[in-house]
Amino acid sequence: MADGSVFWGQGLGAAGAAVGEVCFNTSITGYQEILTDPSYAGQIITFTFPHIGNVGANAEDLEARKPAARGLILRAPITEPSNWRSAEPLDAWLKKSNLVGLSGLDTRALTIRIRDGGAPNGVIAHAPDGKFDLDNLRKQAAAWPGLEDMDLAKEVTCEKAYEWKEGLWRLGAGGSGLEKSSPSLHVVAIDYGAKLNILRRLVNAGCKVTVVPATVAADEVFKLKPDGVFLSNGPGDPAATGIYAVPVIKAILDKNIPLFGICLGHQLLALALGGKTRKMKLGHRGANQPVKDLQTGKVEITSQNHGFEVLPETLSANAEVTHVSLFDNSNEGLRLKDKPVFSVQYHPEASPGPHDSHYLFKRFTDMIEKHKSSRRAA
């Protein structure tokens, strides 16, 4: 750790060392989706659930083409996989993915330390010969600047625009196949680190999806003639990414194009509305986060992964808070009163996580249809 403390365990996955912010995730399923969530760029994940690796790994449960996380910390050693979908042991997949891991740590003690003191910077190191230069590792941890002021979206975004056509996986007795839908709406998804299941959800909602890089110019978005624009999740400090993202979002708002943002996209929308964001002490990371929808009064159990929050009191007058966290009352959603625009802080595609928030994709497509109808009527 940056303060010089050392936690010992047994190395697994790739040999080597990686520096990052040490956080924890409370999910009990979906470790492969978590490790490949681009929003975890720059972070070392402590899993609070002890049974990680017991269902192996496969090529279908990836949320990105390669992991963005820096490493993982486990309580128990990885066991032999026991699941019909397993294609290889998790340890073999970690080696192939160049992810460093440790097992045998007291993850409860580490989690309490993070909970009480905030997420520290640290180095995770695996040396098969057992030889470590502890002084050098401490220096690396202390020298790492942390996630504040760090733009990581550029590291995980796509290199060029492409069309995404896959819908949701459907599992059954005959194996797995892709559900199909006939697209009637064209959505441009700005990729700040988009999880693949989000794109699948948009396809199943009836959208033709064109994915564009985080650094896309507003004119390039408009040339695609979208019916709606989606702002994806992603890693890092929204204020740093906002330097190039906010002007584009403002231009989209000026065109009155329906817009839906999640996670980092939610934070970037808030910045475009004149709001501010700040680093949280812990952040929200897990598949069991309660959120209240203030418009319906319903409580959703959500999947979340973020370390920054929107300060609702800084938003413009035409913005309305729609969702709040029942853990700490932090902002979890907003909408505009005078434009077809809304966003949420959590992951409605819910992979991994509950399915309580899937309605938001239909809310988005309904909003687009209503906007198109009103324009035709005008």
CA 153 to mean position of chain CA atoms: 11
Q: Is residue 63 annotated as part of the catalytic site, yes or no? A: no
Tokens of 86: 């397993």
Q: Is residue 179 annotated as part of the catalytic site, yes or no? A: no
CA 370/CA 352 separation, integer angstroms: 31
CA 20/CA 146 separation, integer angstroms: 7
Q: Is residue 186 annotated as part of the catalytic site, yes or no? A: no
> Of 326, 336, 320, 321, which Cα lies nearest the Cα of 356?
326
CA 328/CA 282 separation, integer angstroms: 11
Q: Which of 266, 284, 323, 347 is catalytic?
A: 347
> Of 291, 377, 275, which Cα lies nearest the Cα of 330?
291
Q: Helix or strand or coil: residue 58?
A: coil
Q: Which of 33, 263, 266, 284 is catalytic?
A: 263
> Of 136, 111, 110, 113, which Cα lies nearest the Cα of 123?
136
Q: Which of 63, 309, 332, 349 is catalytic?
A: 349
CA 142 to mean position of chain CA atoms: 26
Catalytic residues: 263, 347, 349
